[in-house]
Amino acid sequence: MADAATQLKLPPPVPPELERVPLVGNNRDLGWLSDKIAGIAEGKTPLWWWCAFVPSVLAAGLLGAMLVYQISTGVGVWGNHHPTMWGWDIINFVWWIGIGHAGTLISAILFLLRQRWRTGVNRAAEAMTIFAVICAGIYPAIHVGRVWYDWFLFPIPTANGNWPQFRSPLMWDVFAVSTYFTVSVLFWYMGLIPDLAVMRDRARTRLRQFFYGLFALGWTGSNRHWSNYEKAYLIFAGLSTPLVLSVHSIVSLDFAVSQLPGWHTTIFPPYFVAGAIFSGFGMVLTLLIPLRKICRLEDIITKRHIDVMCKVTLATGSIVGYAYGMEFFIAWYSGSPYERFAFLNRALGPYWWGYWLMIFCNVVVPQLFWCKRIRENLLVVFIISILVNIGMWFERFVIIVISLHRDFLPSNWGYFKPSWVDIATYLGTFGLFFTLFLLFMRFLPMIAISEVKGVTPQADPHHPLGGAKANGGSLG
Amino acid sequence: MKPTPPLPPEPADGRKYWRSLDQLTETAEFQQWMEREFPEGATEWHDPVSRRHFVKIMSASFLLAGLGLAGSGCRRPEEKVMPFAVQPEGYVHGQPQYYATAMPTRTGAIPLVVKAQEGRPVKIEGNDKFPGGHRGTDRYAQASILNLYDPDRATRFVKNGQTVTRTEALDFLEELARKFAGNRGAGLAFLIEPRTSPSFHRLRQVLQQKLPESQWFLHEPVDTAPVNVAATAAFDAEAQLIHDQWGHTRRPRYRLDKAARILALDCDFIGDEDESHTLIRDFAQGRKLSGPTDAMSRLYVVESLMTLTGAQADHRLRTPASRVAAVTARMAMEILKLAPPAGVDVAALTQRFAAAADAAEGDAKWIAACARDLVEHKGRAVVLAGHRQPIAVQWLAHAMNAALGAVGQTLELYPALSSGANPADRLLPLFSLAKWLNDGKADTLVILGGNPVFTAAADLDWAKTQRQARTVIRLGYYEDETAAAKLCDWHFPLAHYLESWGDARTHDGTLVPVQPLIQPLFGGLTELEFLARLAGETPANPHEIVRETFRREARPGNFEEEWKQFLYDGFRADSAPKPVESPFAWAKCRPETKAPETLSKERLEVIFHRDYSLDDGRYANNGWLQELPDPITKMVWDNAVLLSRQTARELGVKNGEVVEVSLNGRSVKGPVWIQPGMADYSLGLALGYGRERAGRVGNRVGFNAYPLRSRETPHFAVGATVRPTGKTYPLACTQDHWSMEGRPIVREANLEQFQKDPGFAKRLNMHEPPGGMRPLYPNPLEEKKQKAHHQWGMSIDLNTCVGCSACVIACQSENNIPIVGKDQVKRGREMHWLRIDRYYASDPARQKDKSVWRREGRQQFESWIDDPQTVMQPMMCQHCESAPCENVCPVNATVHDEEGLNVMAYNRCVGTRYCSNNCPYKVRRFNYFDYNKRPINALYLGPLGKRKDDEWDLIKMLKNPDVTVRMRGVMEKCTFCIQRIEQAKIAQKVKARDSGDVVVPDGTFTTACAQACPADAIVFGNIADPASRVSQLKRQERDYTVMEYLNIRPRTTYLARVRNPNPAMPDYPAIPATLSEYATKSGDPSLHSPADAAPGEH
């Protein structure tokens, strides 16, 4: 039998060129991973962090000042006007909401689809999602004329029996965005629990021990804990998946339900979701490429991760491009002169530059990702990711401003210009976003430690390096 | 059980006398009361404390507590409720009271009914009982109520710049009266404005008798007297030319309602001629169509400026003002040849203007065809010449009228009203006064009204001249340029006409009363009182003066009854003189006209015109008028140098560029505005802007054109040059885009087309969506609608709407619409619920650019704007039955009611502005700032921007208490005057009692815009009643819906416009330009079948 055992033929070794690039580079062991990731949130605050944090806080303060000014004085301090009653407020709302799509998509949909590479980026992307949704959520709340009556939008059973109007897409927005935010926060926090326990165990001060311990909810890493955790994670992933699709679909209905040429389009829900994923991945790339460098995370966020995300960007960018083309086709095919005009006016009207900037950034530039060498050149990828963000901002500009500024009656036509308060408020939301993100990476593990460990060879019992067999390997 | 309503209100249409009968008894209290003129507690107004006291009494709940963040913190403002000390008889709190009165104008008066709430006049309306149904008013009358509450009006008695007490000022008048009674008025001069008040002229005669050596002068910057002078010259064989002026004994009155063909020679009878509201009404009569068989008048216009009249023209000849004389001469020649008047040597007559006529050779075809058409309609044609044209042109126009048999038909001649009727007491013009002053004969100059320092001809150097008098006394409504301390020794505040007893004669000569609705807010004097005091009459009681004048009119013995009737009706029936038989004096006719000068870019023509908003500058401090878009340029808060595209191109200037216009060594600087339809080498300069002492609203708005205006050429002058300064100046315009882009928004056809295809308007409907589809989610209101008594709807006749904009101001006044200032308008945030869209169209062949998406910046240089056709369209909330604004509002702030109104719940509105985005008409307005609470120059200061207390007090008095004053962050829009609807319904319910007849009869009430419309183009009513006027209009074949393809079923529909061009004319368009623009884009509409697009049921 021993002979038979020795005669058992192992499959021929995979040739190196066909070998999958490992998800963690340099064959790093589990201990290194813990040290590396937890180390970012421990130790002395690096100088670069302060350099980034101070301007961010100042910018967030600017946001506060702008909100005080706008609320005390009136919406008029912004640039929107008759006929363009929505301007940067709703553009930025949709833009931030769009950015807030990548995180939950990565953690939920890619989890269900067994995309193991997601582990390297999901934590940061989810954090980005939450902070982006916070930035987004500010806008609809304050863009209204009378902020102090925002509660009219919630179905609160009051004595006078006034209910919100459930036919209005803005109403659906309130539910969609708040549900999405709640679920995203819970999902993110749940995923954090094992890592919070790691942080707790590594903490050296009482304060850190207390707070990490508080939020780790007594995690011990027992089998029962892990089992419950895995089940809950799956359930959350299942819950979040439709939300990823619904939230931006509903945001798109803000436009599609109206009858304005340029808004009144059935293609909007899928087109908006694709655009949101596109912009979300753009933002993830914009954030992670520098972070990977600064925090020396090249072995965890590998070029393979970047490569995959570039491919997602390419795919969604192409969908968006298709949608742009289809809008034009339908406008022509509808035979409605108003529809035709709305689209010709996009491309050739006073805001033609906005339209063509959008086409360049969203449709032309991502096509470069067909080329592997470009996907591997991180500087180029970084620049493209920024262009994607700009392009997606202009997509919302094109939809909102260009459609509104010239509609049915030419007597109403106008030309929208933002005011300085619009611009300062927008910069302020960046301040808030980066403040939150910098705090996040300073105090929480930026990468899901347990999940990354789970995709290393060491965690695979069947792998030569994996499990207890790996005597040679250090388990740290 | 039905709850019993407390105190059923009376029907809202009852009119009251100013005094109750009891008060007419001769009691001691009454005598004292009469002396006081107004009830106790309302005297001594210069003291702000007692003014406030009055306000407290008059308005039972008046907000006194500090408002805003500072002071009262976040506490609820304190309210004090003050009961009446003595309840006026018949007074029901909250019920408006209506008084008949009249607004005096230069050459007439507008009969009015004014609504008062708690003793405050709040809304001005036309007197619909007036013979001839003058329900409509003009924009000035509508806006004049704002002047009453103007915090910058003269509020004090001033001596050498120092405030003095009223007693001191009146003592001075008494002393003056004594002094001049002693020397028979030597060295005393009066400068007055033209007015038609019989009492005024009676007092003047009294004064002239007492002070025979006093001198009387007349000044009016926009003087329409030449029209009368010309009529006198033409029709009064006895009239003589005295000095260089005629006394006038005749007044022309054009009966455009009877005219089939109208030729207007530089005559903007719709816009800037006097009595335009009457002329609009008459003109509209001739343009009303009930069906394709109706006749319709045809309007020919020869003009240089693009005016409202030009916008209505069926044929418009664009020519400089200085060349109008030539066109007139040629036209007269043609007409006199075609229809030679009996016994006139036509050849000898036409010889006089043959040279001028030759100069119009270039337009020979146009003139010949027009002349033929006029002659073909002999007896039903009329020629009007504007007041800006020289007497010779007007004389020729009357010669044509005589030849066309218009006299007695379409042109009626009336004896002149009192001013100047008798050549002996004819008033001398301002330059005679200047001469008199400069001769050093003046001791005392009394200026009654008027603002000569601002408006006098530049070559008179009036500011200096005025100072030649030792004492200058002025009775003025504002402490304006004329009232400057160095120029004026004494200044007396003038009472508003709503605070005054007075009388006037309307244009047709009917006697109308001017009744006060409120005690003079700042103790101002009326002109009558002022003159009476100078005549030495104390106490001078204007009420008694007017009664005294009326005594001559009334039958003796029946005076009190007739006086009451006079005040109740607001006019004296049958007091108008009959037209006089006055044949044209052919023997005397020698209108001398010269050939016009050739214009070029080095030698331009300047036209000084009365502004559509500010008149001659007198309304400069009226925010409503400042913010009223000019009906043609759509500009607000500014005037500009209007010029044609070609002139601009040759001068190398573009919109907003500041240029220096020089004429005879004087120059002014102003921004350029390229105006479609302007004559080449003509510059249009609106008067009345650039005021230095107008008040907080009107100071330094626009530029002052008066410095270019000389005595010799008050209306237009040739020889101006333009130098670009290289600077630009921002102009605020409410409508940037001029073209309708071929969209079927305003639908038009020529008369023949309409006769052939009466349903043409519906052929322009788009072919979707298919009608008759049942909605997936039926509107729950549909069922309720079936049961409701009323379904409100509106019909707007684009054939008779002339764009005069009286409706815009009426809406603003009725609905407490704030002004927002130039900066906000520039940002597109004006608040008018009702706007008038003005589009230019031209033959698509002329529109060389194939693109529809060009930038606006370029349309000013496109050649198609040279001779555009102009269309006007009032646009307000259309009250769609399935309103797109409603289903997108997340908070149910805009909802539908069962009577078909799209209503706004301001309290519920949070201001997402989604409704505006989804409104295809974009008629919703958003309160971007606290426009009511903050002064317009401090909007961006938020809570730190505070209105001054005097502004606050007066602004609050102006508001219509039946309409919510909106705060910031709230959307608003036309409500179809829901407050009037509810009042009418309540009144009808009260009247119906148990009979159950709660349907408001048609015509009991109407919206503010419809009420103000002089053309009766807007009709509002109950469309559930098939007999109502609005239902009948909606059944007309011209009826159409704007943007019907959206299937939103608006309750406001339009009657398509019909043009009536003459096929024989060289510029005859086979179809209207808007229609050919449509055809190039969407195909020939005559091939569309109207049945395809089933309109939604109404």
Select from B37, B596, B139, B187 the least CA-distant residue to B361. B596
Contact (CB<8Å) A80/B913: yes
A 247-266 residues with CB < 8 A to B:
254, 257-260
Q: Does B739 touch chain A (CB under 8 A)?
A: yes
Query: What percent of chain A shows pLDDT beyond 90?
Result: 53
The reported pLDDT for the residue numbered B858 is 67
- How many Cβ atoms are within 10 Å of A297's Cβ, its own excluded? 21
Bridge partners of B895? B903
Answer whether residue A467 is part of any domain: no
Answer whether residue A95 is part of any domain: yes
CA dist A20 and A13 (Å) reads: 13
Contact (CB<8Å) A168/B921: no
User: Which of A86, A165, A170, A343 is the best mutation test for B, with the most CBs of B within 10 A?
Assistant: A165
Selected residue with higher pLDDT from A13 and B830: B830
Q: Which among A85, A163, A415 is the nearest to B913, CB-wise?
A: A85
Q: Please tell me the distance in Å from A408's CA to the nearest CA on chain B.
A: 6
Query: Which DSSP category does A15 fall into?
Result: P
Per-residue tokens: B907? 């309290």
Contact (CB<8Å) A76/B824: yes
The reported pLDDT for the residue numbered B421 is 47
Beta-carbon pairs below 8 A across chains A and B: 194
CA dist A339 and A345 (Å) reads: 10
- How many Cβ atoms are within 10 Å of A281's Cβ, its own excluded? 30
Q: Which among A149, A348, A412 is the nearest to B853, CB-wise?
A: A348
Answer whether residue A13 is part of any domain: no
Answer whether residue A226 is part of any domain: yes
Q: Does A11 touch chain B (CB under 8 A)?
A: no
The reported pLDDT for the residue numbered B1058 is 93
Contact residues, chain A, for B835 at CB < 8 Å: 411
Q: Does A72 touch chain B (CB under 8 A)?
A: yes
pLDDT digits (tens, 9 = 90+) for A291-307: 888 888 888 888 888 99
Query: Vertex B131, ends B129 and B137: CA angle to 5°?
Result: 70
pLDDT digits (tens, 9 = 90+) for A153-190: 888 888 777 788 888 999 998 899 999 999 999 999 99
Selected residue with higher pLDDT from A435 and B14: A435
Selected residue with higher pLDDT from A422 and A5: A422
Contact residues, chain B, for A153 at CB < 8 Å: 890-891, 910
Bridge partners of B894? B904
Q: Which among B829, B939, B969 is the nearest to A81, CB-wise?
A: B829
The reported pLDDT for the residue numbered B807 is 93
B 1065-1084 residues with CB < 8 A to A:
1081-1082
Estimate to the nearest angstrom the gap between the alpha carbon of B333 and the chain centroid: 36
Q: Does A145 touch chain B (CB under 8 A)?
A: yes
Answer whether residue A6 is part of any domain: no
Answer whether residue A8 is part of any domain: no
A 380-419 residues with CB < 8 A to B:
404, 407-415
The reported pLDDT for the residue numbered A467 is 57
pLDDT higher than threshold 80 for residue A346: yes
The reported pLDDT for the residue numbered B1095 is 43
Q: Which among A85, A149, A152 is the nearest to B916, CB-wise?
A: A85
Contact (CB<8Å) A258/B1082: no
Amino acid at B32: Q
Contact residues, chain B, for A83 at CB < 8 Å: 828, 916-917, 922
Q: Which among A145, A258, A408 is the nearest to B926, CB-wise?
A: A145
Q: How far is CA B329 from CA A149, B147, B241, B382, in A?
A: 70, 43, 22, 16
B 826-845 residues with CB < 8 A to A:
827-830, 835, 837-839
Q: Which among B824, B837, B890 is the nearest to A168, CB-wise?
A: B890
Q: Which among B742, B873, B928 is the nearest to A76, CB-wise?
A: B928
The reported pLDDT for the residue numbered A95 is 92
Q: Are B731 and B658 in contact (CB under 8 A)?
A: no
DSSP H helices in B535-594: 542-553, 559-569
Q: Does A144 touch chain B (CB under 8 A)?
A: yes
Answer whether residue A21 is part of any domain: no
Contact residues, chain A, for B967 at CB < 8 Å: 146
* Closest residue in B to A174 (Cα–Cα): B890
The reported pLDDT for the residue numbered B347 is 83
The pairing of beta strand B215-218 with beta strand B188-192: parallel
Select from A408, A393, A347 the least CA-distant residue to A98. A393
Contact residues, chain B, for A168 at CB < 8 Å: 887-890, 914
The reported pLDDT for the residue numbered A403 is 92
CA dist B8 and B803 (Å) reads: 40
Burial class of residue B1015 (count of CB atoms within 10 Å of its CB; 0-12, 13-18, 19+): buried
**Bond preceding residue B11 cis, omega within 30 of 0:** no
Q: Are B975 and B916 in contact (CB under 8 A)?
A: no
Q: How far is CA B770 from CA A338, B256, B773, B1095, in A?
A: 18, 45, 7, 9
Residue A196 belongs to a domain with what CATH number? Answer: 1.20.1630.10
Bridge partners of B444? B188, B471
Residues in chain B, pLDDT under 50? 1-27, 30, 38-49, 55-74, 243-244, 419-421, 423, 850-856, 1091-1098
**Bond preceding residue B884 cis, omega within 30 of 0:** no
The reported pLDDT for the residue numbered A3 is 54
Q: What are the φ/ψ torsions at residue B707 (nearest 5 degrees)? A: -60, -15
The reported pLDDT for the residue numbered A469 is 44
Bridge partners of B157? B164
What's the number of domains chain A is made of?
1
Q: Which residue has the tokens 């009454």?
A: B30
Answer whether residue A44 is part of any domain: yes
DSSP code per residue over A434-468 = HHHHHHHHHHS-SS-HHHHHHTSGGG-TTSTTSTT
pLDDT band at A221 (very low <50, low <70, confident <90, very high): confident
Range of the domain at A80: 27-150+163-456
- How many Cβ atoms are within 10 Å of B773's Cβ, its own excluded? 9
Q: Does B736 touch chain A (CB under 8 A)?
A: yes
Q: Which among B837, B888, B922 is the nearest to A168, CB-wise?
A: B888
Provide mean pLDDT across the span A337-346. Answer: 90
The reported pLDDT for the residue numbered B20 is 40
Selected residue with higher pLDDT from A25 and A470: A25
| Buried/exposed A77-98: b ≥16 CB within 10 Å, e otherwise | bbbbbbbbbbbbbbbbbbbbbb
